Every structure is written in C-alpha cells, then in structure tokens.
Amino acid sequence: MNAPTTPTAVLFPGQGSQQPGMREPTEAALPALVELADELCGDDAFARADEGTRFQQPALYCAALAAWESLRAEVEPVALAGHSLGEITALAAAGSLSHEDGLRLVAARGRLMQEAADVSDGGMMAVRGSRAEVEPRVRESGVALANDNSPRQVVLAGASADLDALEDMRGKRLPVAGAFHSPLMRPAVEGFRAELARAEFREPTVPVISCVSARPFEDPRQELAAALTSPVRWVDVLGTLHERGVRRFVETGPGSVLTGLVRKTLGDVEAQTHG
C-alpha cells in the first residue's frame, strides 16, 4: 500500500521575485509564451524586468509558469495560491485561464499599473509588526495597508508624503514604481476590467485561493479587478490553506520569498522552493 502523501499547496510569486537569467530556462520550457511576451511588451520583457512593472509582471508570470511545468510531474497539489500577480499565474496553472490569456491579462495589468503609478507620486513601505499593531496608525494616516505578509511584516502603500510622515515606524521603502494595492491604483481598474471581460475563464482543476477574499475564487473577473486596490491578505490565504488540511507548501520560484513567509506564519508545516 502506498503511503499517504502530505496535502500540498503550490505557491506562485509576485513582483520583486525576479532574478537574472530567467529568460533561458523559461524559453526552453515555453518558447511560444516568451515570444508572445516580447510581442505584448514591444521588447524583451526579461532583459527589462528591473525597469518597471510593465516588463516585470509578464517576465515573472512566464518564469513561474515554466517552473510549474517542471514541477507538476512531482506534486499533486490540493490547492494553489499566488501573491498579487501570482494569482493570475495560479489560475493559469489550474487551467482556469489559458497560458496565453493569462499573459495578456498580466501584460495589460502591468502596463495599466505603470500608467497609474506614473500619474501619482506614490510608493510602498515594509514595516515590522502585525496587521493588528499597524492598523491604528494606518487609520490615522493617508496610507493603505497593501500587503499583510506575515505576523511580523506588513506593507503600506500611499503618497510619498504620507509615507514620509510615518518615518517613526522605521519602515523600509521598497524599490517599486507606485502605491500598488491602494486607492492610487484606481485609474487602472476600468481598463483592466475591459481586459478581464475578453478573457475566457473556466473551472479550475483544483481550488485557487483569492488574495482579496482569502477563499477559493468564485468570480475571477470581479476579484482580480478588486485586487488592484485591495490588500493582499497573505496571512489569511495561508490560514485558509492550513484549515483545508495543507501541511506542505511548495513555491515555484523564481525566488523564495513566499517560502520564507510560510515559515514565519505557520509553525507545523513543510515549506520549500522548487529547484
């Protein structure tokens, strides 16, 4: 009799996880998708991934899907989840979107978010502390809680002047172009809704957990649009997966950010990065 396998969730990274040399292994696994990324971005998205979100998002989406292609023969996940951008990658991995429709959404998302960032003087700041500890200050300020990453780290987003006013919190400003997952991203929502309306969604092969609701996606078009201005509830996402019996988490890569967040949030699970 075969030993029972540990219930596993596969995690897909968001922005900030890019690494040098992503293009070659991605192109070897998914050449047509890399060609489409170049076409949609008007240039080599991988070579320019550090220049802004309009290039970074398509490059990371393709790289994470390529990593999934090499991982899928080794693991049978009971659920998938992705951090921010990674939500779309997870939906594509679960068959809810074709790889191509997912990439078109990601390319539009990156471009629209970049345009919204360009018309606002915004940024993001990582702060040590729990959501409960930080929220009272957030309510008093003009910033938004953008990412609830772990019991010891949240990320705030807002106008640069409002973030400067919170210097006493000794946060670390992040090298991003805008105030993502905050009201300053509202200019991107209408255009993204139009792109979502053109995409074909199907039932996923396994549940995919939404960062907006921290529950399985029910209406991807609505939830993905809301995600632009809503916080990434990553602690709650991990809690939901844990409640559903998951005791092993595998991050596709590139990077290992989510693996670290799992280890900081859940004490009785395995967490690893593929490769």
Length of the chain as a residue count:
275
Please say whether the dihedral angle defined by the alpha carbons of residues 234, 214, 190 and 96, taken in this order, is positive or negative: positive
Contacts of 99 (CB under 8 A, 6+ apart): 30, 33, 65, 92
Yes or no: say if 208 and 87 are a contact pair by the CB < 8 Å rule: yes
Yes or no: say if 243 and 4 are a contact pair by the CB < 8 Å rule: no
Alpha-carbon gap, residue 177 to 179, rounded angstroms: 7
Q: What percentage of the chain exceeds 90 in pLDDT? A: 86
Domains of the chain: 8-119+181-273 (3.40.366.10), 122-173 (3.30.70.250)
User: What is the DSSP annotation of 219-269?
Assistant: -HHHHHHHHTTS-B-HHHHHHHHHHTT--EEEE-SSS-HHHHHHHHH-SSS
* Residues 17-38 pLDDT 10s: 888 889 999 999 999 999 999 9
pTM of the model: 0.95
* pLDDT given for residue 91 in this prediction: 98
**Sorting pLDDT into bands at 50, 70 and 90, what band is 1?**
very low
Average pLDDT over every residue of 236-265: 96
Alpha carbon distance, N-terminus to C-terminus of the chain: 29
| Axis-axis angle for helices 220-227, 86-93 (nearest 10) | 160
**Sorting pLDDT into bands at 50, 70 and 90, what band is 275?**
low
Q: At residue 52, does pLDDT exceed 60?
A: yes
- Side chain identity at residue 102, one-letter code: G
Mean of per-residue pLDDT scores for the chain: 94
Yes or no: say if 30 and 59 are a contact pair by the CB < 8 Å rule: no
* Residues 94-117 pLDDT 10s: 999 999 999 999 999 999 999 999
**Strands laid side by side in the 208-209 sheet:** 208-209, 79-82, 8-12, 248-251, 270-273
Q: At residue 3, does pLDDT exceed 70?
A: no
Alpha-carbon gap, residue 260 to 83, rounded angstroms: 13
Residues known to be catalytic: 84, 181
